[in-house]
Structure 1
Amino acid sequence: MPGVETDSISRERSRTGRWLHEHALLLVCLAIFLLCLVGMAVSGYQVYTDDRLEHGGTAIAFGDYFRSGHFIEATFENWESEFLQMGAYVVLTIFLFQKGSSESKPMGERTPQDEDPRHAAVGPGTPWPVRRGGIWLVLYENSLAIFFFVLFALSFWFHAVGGAEVYSAEQAQHGLPTVGVIEYLGTSQFWFESMQNWQSEFLAVAAIVGASVYLRQRGSPESKPVATPHHETGA
């Protein structure tokens, strides 16, 4: 019946709209990421092609560019620093504090994040590793840091893989010997590429930790309430 079909469509749209609302932050960030990645690929391909032509080479297909050291190195060099930053921040905020910062746990008191899950009441919605216990719980209660450090390690390696190809190509142009991935890890070029990104990530973390003591952004969970005194720490 038309009325039943209309109600079904309305309910489906309502569920879809609710799902989009509940996941909007993740979806928007992923959309911006994809747009920027596409922009990086397009512009990087043009830079790479121009460089090849200037040195007497030939252009490659756009699809082949994604397998080139130029694209791999540029992509994972940046991902590496981001995942290092997030992993280190997750771990450092367990033990370290900043008085007055919204990014710090309150000082001198226990928070829900400090509670031992082994003593928690178990219900239907309790995560499976908590109900199971043992090694599964040990892994799960550290899974956020593990997640970021695994991604950091993978990005670190692919940065080295792509960077070794780019570095070797430049060496060959100057009549110098090429290097393997392990050899490239020992070059100053690799560590220059890494450190120039790492320093900026930790500067950004320090900036929000320090700025959130005195500055506010109404409506953002990264800020304390606007009227909160500067000395009050955490949420």
Structure 2
Amino acid sequence: MRVFRDNGLTIVLIGLFAVSIIGQWIAGWHVEMEDARRHGQAVLSLGAYTLSPQFLSSVFENWESEFLQMAAYVVLTAVLVQRGSAESKDPDSPPRDVDLDIQANKPGAPAILKWGSFWRAFYARSLGLALGLLFILSFIIHWTQSARVAAQEALAHGEKPVATMAYLTDSQLWFESFQNWQSEFLSTAVLVLLSIFLRQRESPESKGVAAPHRQTGE
């Protein structure tokens, strides 16, 4: 089927995402029910759990780290190189995106490139900006929902809850963030380095199987 042939990567990845988040949703609900029963609290329905700070905080805690990783990767690979890596541009190749005002006239070039220098500059950085914005939005939701979880736990123990703004400096929030950030940056660095010496046949994330180790880029 042509639609799957042309869009198979996105379709499969979205499918895997759907299976994974549904699994997190159902499993998290069961964990929350067990915790409520142990403490003699009311059990949330599945619908109520969907909008609960416990679920939203855990979801956006992970999304935040993923979008940070991708934003950093897109921006850093624009200015830094790793000789021999399939994940790096070749430092010996000429710049690809010069004279965009001229390239705007190429057949199939995005129409926004003809709107003027401001829009060309904006569009030339739009991927990094979009990923950065998604990171910021995810972090804000993680922060506010994690603050609600902390407030609920404080009230349950007869303690004074921390205000949302004050929670921004709470060690729990940053522990949750850094434990995810470090793994994302490590996995990216490992991919960059392993792609120098190892191959995956037909993958655009790998050099050709017979390519020299020193070859940089695909």
Give the match for residue 151 of structure 1.
134
Structure 2 counterpart SS, 1:46:
helix
Aligned to 1:126: 109
1:13 matched residue in structure 2: none
User: Is 1:31 aligned with 2:30?
Assistant: no
Give the deviation of 1:110 after TM superposition: 1.6
Give the drift of 1:217: 0.7
Match of 1:197 among 180, 183, 187: 180
Letter of the 2:187 counterpart? A
For the aligned residues, what is the CA RMSD? 1.3
Deviations along 1:161-199, one digit per CA (max 9) or x if unpaired, are 110111112222322211222111110000000000000
CA distance in 2, matches of 1:111, 1:37: 40
Equivalent pair of 2:196/2:213 in contact (CA under 8 Å): yes
Max Rg structure: 1
Do structure 1's residue 50 and structure 2's residue 34 form an aligned pair?
yes
Indicate conservation of the 8 Å contact 1:160/1:190, yes or no: yes
1:21 aligned onto 2:15 = no
Aligned partner of residue 212 in structure 2, secondary structure = coil
Whether 1:68 and 2:47 are equivalent positions in the alignment is no
DSSP 3-state at the match of 2:81: coil
* Aligned counterpart, 1:95: 79
| 1:139 Cα offset (Å) | 1.6
What is the letter of the counterpart of residue 63 of structure 1? G
Partner of 1:175: 158
Between 59-68 and 70-79, the greater mean CA deviation after superposition:
59-68
Give 1:116 shift.
3.4
Could you tell me which amino acid in structure 2 is paired with residue 218 of structure 1?
R
**Alpha-carbon displacement from aligned partner over 1:7-51 (angstroms, at most 9, x marks no partner):** xxxxxxxxxx21221011001100100110000000000111111
Q: Is the 8 A contact 2:87 2:217 kept in 1?
A: yes
TM-score, with structure 2 as normaliser: 0.96
Partner Cα distance (1:209, 1:102) in 2: 7
Runs of 4+ in 1 over 4 A off after TM superposition: none
CA contact (8 A) 1:164 1:179 kept: yes
* Structure 2: runs of 5 or more not aligned: none
Say if 1:116 and 1:182 are closer, same or farther in 2 by CA, change over 3 A: farther
Q: 1:84 aligns with which of 68, 84, 95?
A: 68
Q: How much does 1:125 deviate?
A: 2.3
Structure 1: runs of 5+ lacking an equivalent = 1-16
1:14 maps to none
The amino acid across from 1:210 in the alignment is: L
Q: How many residues align?
A: 218
- Length-normalised TM-score, structure 1: 0.89
Partners of 1:77 and 1:193 within 8 A in 2: yes
Q: What is the CA–CA distance in structure 2 between the aligned matches of 1:199 and 1:207, rounded to whole Å?
A: 12
